[in-house]
Structure 1
Amino acid sequence: MHPDPRSRPAPSRDACARWTSSSAPSDPPSTEPHHRPPTGPRPGRTLPRDAVTAVEPRSHPTQETAISVLLASPMRELDQLVAGSDPLDAARDAPRLPALNRAGDIAGLDRLARTWHGRVAANVRDTVTAGAALRDLGFALASLERHGVDFRSVPGAEETLLRLGARTGEVPRDSVYTYALRNPEDAVRSFTELPEEALFIREVRTAGVALRPAVDALLAALPLPAEDPALAGLLAEATRGFTVFAQSLLAVKRAITPQTFSGELRPYFPPMTVGGQVLYAPGGAQMTPLLVDILLIRPEPGDRAEEWYEGYLRENLPYLPAAYRAASDRARRHRPLLPRLVDEAGAHSPVRPAAARTLAGLRALMRELLRFRLPHLQLAKANMNIRPDGSLGSGGYTTDSLDHLAELTLARHRLLSGAPTEK
Structure 2
Amino acid sequence: MLTSDKHTSSSLRYHLPETTHREDDFIAGLDPLQADDQLKRVPQFNNERNTVALVLLLVDILPSVTYLSTFDAYQANAAMRDIGLLLGSLKRHGVEPVNVIPQLEEKLNMIAQKTNLPPRDTLLHYTIWNPDGLRRRSYTGTDDELYLIDSVKIGMNPLVRGIYSLRNLHHTPLQSTEFKTTCETTATHFESMIAGIVLARKKVSPAYFANELRLYFDPITLNEKIYLGPGAVEMPMFVYDHLLWSSDCQDREYITFKETYLPYVHSQMRGIYREFENKPSLLTQVCYTLETLKTANEKVDDDNLKALMKLCILLKSFRMPHKKIAEESYKQSEERTKGSGGYSTDILSHILMLTTNKVSLLEEGIKKHLLGFYESMN
Q: TM-score higher than 0.5 here?
A: yes
CA distance in structure 2 between the partners assigned to 1:197 and 1:156 by the alignment: 30
Counterpart contact for 2:145–2:213, Cα < 8 Å: yes
Task: Check if 1:96 corresponds to 2:41.
Answer: yes
Counterpart contact for 2:159–2:190, Cα < 8 Å: yes
Query: Of residues 162, 173, 193 in structure 1, which corresponds to 2:141?
Result: 193
Deviation at 1:259, TM superposition (A): 0.7
User: Within 5 A, what are the aligned runs for 1:50-89?
Assistant: 65-66=12-13, 68-69=14-15, 71-89=16-34
CA distance in structure 2 between the partners assigned to 1:411 and 1:388 by the alignment: 34
User: Within 5 A, what are the aligned runs for 1:197-216?
Assistant: 197-216=145-164
Query: Percent of aligned pairs with the same residue?
Result: 26
Deviation at 1:205, TM superposition (A): 0.7
**For 1:99-157, what per-residue CA distance to the aligned partner results, in whole angstroms no more than 9, with x for missing partners?**
11111111211111111113574255110011111110000121111112110112311
CA distance in structure 2 between the partners assigned to 1:72 and 1:284 by the alignment: 23
CA distance in structure 1 between the partners assigned to 2:259 and 2:317 by the alignment: 26
CA distance in structure 2 between the partners assigned to 1:321 and 1:274 by the alignment: 20
CA distance in structure 1 between the partners assigned to 2:344 and 2:276 by the alignment: 28
Task: Check if 1:352 corresponds to 2:299.
Answer: yes
CA distance in structure 2 between the partners assigned to 1:108 and 1:72 by the alignment: 41
Query: In 2 relative to 1, CA 127–294 (structure 1 residues): closer, same or farther, beyond 3 Å?
Result: same
AA matched with 1:167: K
Counterpart contact for 1:162–1:274, Cα < 8 Å: no
CA distance in structure 1 between the partners assigned to 2:252 and 2:183 by the alignment: 28
Task: Check if 1:314 corresponds to 2:262.
Answer: no
User: Within 5 A, what are the aligned runs for 1:147-226?
Assistant: 147-152=93-98, 153-186=100-133, 187-226=135-174
Query: In 2 relative to 1, CA 277–296 (structure 1 residues): closer, same or farther, beyond 3 Å?
Result: same
Task: Check if 1:293 corresponds to 2:238.
Answer: no
* Higher mean C-alpha displacement, 345-354 vs 208-217: 345-354
Question: What stretches of structure 1 of length at least 5 have no aligned partner?
Answer: 1-60
Deviation at 1:87, TM superposition (A): 0.4
CA distance in structure 1 between the partners assigned to 2:65 and 2:169 by the alignment: 42
CA distance in structure 1 between the partners assigned to 2:65 and 2:29 by the alignment: 17
Query: Of residues 260, 269, 273 in structure 1, which corresponds to 2:217?
Result: 269
AA matched with 2:96: D
CA distance in structure 2 between the partners assigned to 1:202 and 1:388 by the alignment: 26
Query: In 2 relative to 1, CA 389–188 (structure 1 residues): closer, same or farther, beyond 3 Å?
Result: closer
**For 1:379-409, what per-residue CA distance to the aligned partner results, in whole angstroms no more than 9, with x for missing partners?**
1112222335663212332122212211111
Deviation at 1:333, TM superposition (A): 6.2
Query: Of residues 237, 247, 259 in structure 1, which corresponds to 2:185?
Result: 237
Query: Of residues 273, 278, 284 in structure 1, which corresponds to 2:226?
Result: 278
Counterpart contact for 1:299–1:309, Cα < 8 Å: no
SS at the partner of 1:118? coil
Counterpart contact for 1:101–1:143, Cα < 8 Å: yes
Counterpart contact for 1:297–1:408, Cα < 8 Å: no
CA distance in structure 1 between the partners assigned to 2:65 and 2:92 by the alignment: 23
CA distance in structure 2 between the partners assigned to 1:344 and 1:241 by the alignment: 26
User: Which residue does 1:417 correspond to in 2?
Assistant: 363
Deviation at 1:159, TM superposition (A): 1.5
Counterpart contact for 1:171–1:319, Cα < 8 Å: yes
AA matched with 1:160: K
User: Which residue does 2:88 correspond to in 1?
Assistant: 142
CA distance in structure 2 between the partners assigned to 1:395 and 1:72 by the alignment: 30
Task: Check if 1:406 corresponds to 2:345.
Answer: no
The structure having more radius of gyration, on CA atoms, is 2
**For 1:231-255, what per-residue CA distance to the aligned partner results, in whole angstroms no more than 9, with x for missing partners?**
1111111111111101210211122
> Could you list the runs of 4 or more consecutive aligned residues of structure 1 that deviate by over 6 angstroms after TM superposition?
none
- Report how many residues are paired: 356
**For 1:292-349, what per-residue CA distance to the aligned partner results, in whole angstroms no more than 9, with x for missing partners?**
101001062xx6x532232222211111111111111122264110121133124334
Query: Of residues 157, 173, 195 in structure 2, which corresponds to 1:247?
Result: 195
CA distance in structure 1 between the partners assigned to 2:60 and 2:265 by the alignment: 29
**For 1:141-184, what per-residue CA distance to the aligned partner results, in whole angstroms no more than 9, with x for missing partners?**
21111112110112311121111111100011111110001101
Query: In 2 relative to 1, CA 215–74 (structure 1 residues): closer, same or farther, beyond 3 Å?
Result: farther
